[in-house]
Chains A and B, each alone.
Chain A
């Protein structure tokens, strides 16, 4: 039987507010345990929440970016359950009246095709603290620094049909929230976390199969692996005559498998009700208009513009527009040199390679966009050749000069295009290589093409790489053939 996979994602995005969603405590990552938790975060008696306006603005910006309806009135509810790292015994969330209503996101697949994934809603909520099970000799430590950190939970419709689509969706969300600057999107630090709902159904069947929810899948790669495992598990289960039960499962990246956490029967009754300590959030049109006017150009728009106006390939446009930092770097390089294709090649090639090797983000690139643009300009105007350009790049990377021109001058890399000078070097090489010349002369004509490489190399060496390779090639051929 042919099976179809159905996937829906709940993505928790940590919003980049400076203070927590309901208190003034800092949200900075990595502080000593329990040093960034105030009376509100600790759930001390008498402490009351006050909504962070910045968190609301960020949620709205996301909603506008995914073409969603923004609720005129949204309401915070309490989700009641006991857990040691949940200080109040409830999580303040939005159950019935979320701030962001239905919207949609376009994802791009590896073959360049696009697909629209519908957003069911997105709501604001507070994060819990952390339970630490190591280093406490059988006891559990609680760190409440994270308690009260604002989260935007983005719930998709079950519109994805493969692990690849799910990963592409997650990347699209990542791209949007980082473009908006509403999250640092740092998955390693938990700034984006994902719950995956997976079910399978025979191809052609309309009704959904029973789904399993896989909790806390924290990287793009894990999302794909967790889904792959889960799909296989469910299909095997059904084909062996069993049936999938609705349950919550955990993904174990070390063993590459999902494990049952709790079944539907064991599920909590969260006793949601409106939080009486917080007023409903009422947003007017002027506020929405203001935020809309502040929206940056979003990844989908950039992608389209890069393709249509700058002539980038679909692939290049997609890769470069995925990150706002990379897109803006690319645009600055392009502004400097005026050649989009070359700019894209350098940003994705030499620059990305060097950044990856040193594990740097493009925002921390040692080479500025202006420097790179100037470097490309020098290639375009034939001041240097491609080989020298790589050397200039390396020198700029190492901080050996302020600009490409400085380095070209200092290292004498200016391309030699003077025919006389090149001819002199060629004559010298031919004079110094009698054996190779003899060999060239004695070879079959069709093999001479290959042999010419040796002479080109010698000339380039003699010029310390500065001779124009096309000129060298042409002149060498003429001169060698004259010896026949």
Chain B
């Protein structure tokens, strides 16, 4: 069953080929067998999943089931789930059980999907390799010595290994697209405001956005249709209507204007990655698209701007973890300052502390204008770069990451890790959507093609990605791990 895409599974459930209970049990068994090696899950909620599968089967039998009823999924452990631990990959929240569901979770529940559990992630979504998790690193199923990418590394690895047909991730600077690329799956970061952030533990509020990670663009289209839409509980979610993302998947691409940002093909780009991306672009040409070079002149400011804005917001967002009301509290504090300092020193990992310190510094009196205000100006320029480019072309294409998955422990220096996100980070600063689709391999490790569109162009991105996946089979490749261990 695990070989099937989510779309195929939905069809099989509908035709009665197997039940949701059988399907759910099948994936739970695979998790049981394989996840000791991958470490892609923090919590597995087998009992609850089987119970929900039965309810789904009953709904199918009664004829009241929607298309995704009974489909198993996994949630990055950043989505609050009632009665199930939501750790955000941190010791700080190892004991935290939210009294409510994130809106994304509510919507998925309402659609009848079944959560198998909560996936591993970089602590508070800060990282590009999943090595920053309190629960240990996740391995890449294509090569267990490689990282799966981050911060949604658990979701990406679990989908790639066939432990779950699809998973939810979040993307603040590339955290869906980069792990999707590293693990050879399809991952979509929607436009900022398209999906409610309510109940998603905040890292950088003006950049965070949730999206689907699955085997194909078609799978992502099904899931985005479920999770997108306005939410009165998130002031930044937009009221704009949600189109039918599945219906538009098969629009022809003839006449599609593709732009290749020259800044995305410069120094530091792995030749194998470049080759795979250029090959993919040729496929598009064969489908009737035209290609031209474009420029996003402020690209090289994206990482510095991001590492001012995101830590600034994070330093404030993470202030609530103070040991007073929930989360980790140090033993026997002797006064208030001791309670704060030890609870936070013990509860947070190194990278989280680093970003809190950066953010606290950049927001401080005397530094604010030089850092924060300047970074916001840069952000506007970066956004304008994209808007200008989309005057001339329909979509932009380039690599999702400068290299394929690197080895575990290879990037010791934080800045070299930050540079991983060079092609993804500007997209969050601009608020536009982006998708990463599998486009080849380099030494057995997957390469991702990133496709970018203007604000709310998700339907177009999914269409463009789907047509590629109809013409190629990179997205159907499975790591040997999927068969060997599970």
Contact = CB atoms under 8 A, between A and B. Distances in A.
Which one of A49, A84, A271 has the greatest number of beta carbons of chain B within 10 Å?
A271
Given A89-B319, A276-B206, A45 B325 contact: no
A48 B340 contact: no
Given A49-B235, A273-B372, A87 B316 contact: no
B312 A273 contact: yes
A80 B363 contact: yes
Interface residues of B, number: 43
Is the interface on chain A under 10, 10 to 19, 20 to 34, or 35 or more residues? 20 to 34
Contacts of B96: 45
Contacts of A97: none
Interface string B67-82: 0000000000001100
A50 interface: yes
B156 to A, nearest CB: 22
A271 B233 contact: no
B80 to A, nearest CB: 4
A39 interface: yes
Contact of A273 (B197, B232, B326, B363): B363
A174 B199 CA distance: 40
Nearest to B312: A273
A229 interface: no
Interface string B352-382: 0000000010011100100010000000000
Contacts of B206: 276
B319 A45 contact: no
A104 to B, nearest CB: 31
A89 B320 contact: yes
A271 B360 contact: yes
B309 to A, nearest CB: 9
Given A45-B96, A82-B340, A84-B324, A269 B319 contact: no
B321 to A, nearest CB: 8
Interface string A249-282: 0000000000000000000010111001111000
A39 B318 CA distance: 16
Interface string A26-46: 000000000000010011111
A78 interface: yes
A90 interface: yes
A21 to B, nearest CB: 12
B202 A271 contact: no
B41 interface: no
Contacts of B364: 269, 271
Contacts of A87: 320, 324-325
A48 B235 contact: yes
Contact of A279 (B233, B236, B315): B236
A42 B325 contact: yes
Contacts of B368: 271-273
Contacts of B340: 82
Contacts of B319: 80, 82, 88-90
B99 interface: yes
A460 interface: no
A245 B319 CA distance: 31
B102 interface: yes
Nearest to A51: B235
B199 A276 contact: no
Given A277-B235, A279-B236, A90 B100 contact: no
Contacts of B338: none
B198 A82 contact: no
Contact of A46 (B198, B322, B372): B198
Which one of A49, A50, A89 has the greatest number of beta carbons of chain B within 10 Å?
A89
Contacts, number: 96
A142 interface: yes
Contacts of A273: 312-313, 316, 363, 368, 372
A192 B235 CA distance: 29
A429 to B, nearest CB: 82
Contacts of B235: 48-51, 277-279
A44 B320 CA distance: 8
A277 B364 CA distance: 20
B208 to A, nearest CB: 9
Contacts of A39: 99-100
Contacts of A272: 363, 368
Contacts of B393: none
Contact of A44 (B99, B232, B315, B316): B99
Given A39-B99, A277-B205, A142 B93 contact: no
A46 B316 contact: no
Contact of A45 (B201, B322, B336, B372): B201
Nearest to B313: A276
B312 A48 contact: no
A48 B200 CA distance: 9
Contact of A48 (B98, B234, B363): B234
A82 B338 CA distance: 13
Interface string B83-107: 0001010000100101110100000
A142 B323 CA distance: 13
B93 A45 contact: yes
B316 A45 contact: no
Nearest to A278: B235
Interface in B288-332: 312-313, 315-316, 318-320, 322, 324-326
A45 B327 CA distance: 10
B303 to A, nearest CB: 19
Interface string A402-426: 0000000000000000000000000
Which one of A43, A46, A273 has the greatest number of beta carbons of chain B within 10 Å?
A46
B293 to A, nearest CB: 34
Nearest to B200: A46
Interface string A80-120: 10101001111000000000000000000000000000000
Contact of A89 (B197, B199, B322): B322
Contacts of A271: 315-316, 360, 363-365, 368
A48 B202 CA distance: 9
Interface in A285-322: none
Contacts of A84: 322, 324, 336
Given A80-B316, A87-B320, A279-B235, A46 B98 contact: yes
Contacts of A44: 98-100, 326
A87 B319 CA distance: 9
B324 A142 contact: yes
Interface in B206-239: 206, 232-236
A89 B320 CA distance: 5
23 contacts: A42-B325, A43-B320, A45-B80, A45-B98, A45-B320, A46-B198, A46-B199, A46-B202, A47-B198, A80-B315, A82-B322, A87-B320, A89-B318, A89-B320, A90-B316, A271-B315, A271-B365, A273-B312, A273-B313, A273-B372, A276-B204, A276-B313, A278-B235
Given A82-B319, A273-B363, 19 more contacts: A43-B325, A45-B80, A45-B202, A46-B98, A46-B202, A47-B198, A48-B197, A50-B234, A50-B235, A80-B319, A87-B325, A142-B324, A271-B368, A272-B363, A272-B368, A276-B205, A277-B205, A277-B236, A278-B235
Interface of A: 39, 42-51, 78, 80, 82, 84, 87-90, 142, 269, 271-273, 276-279
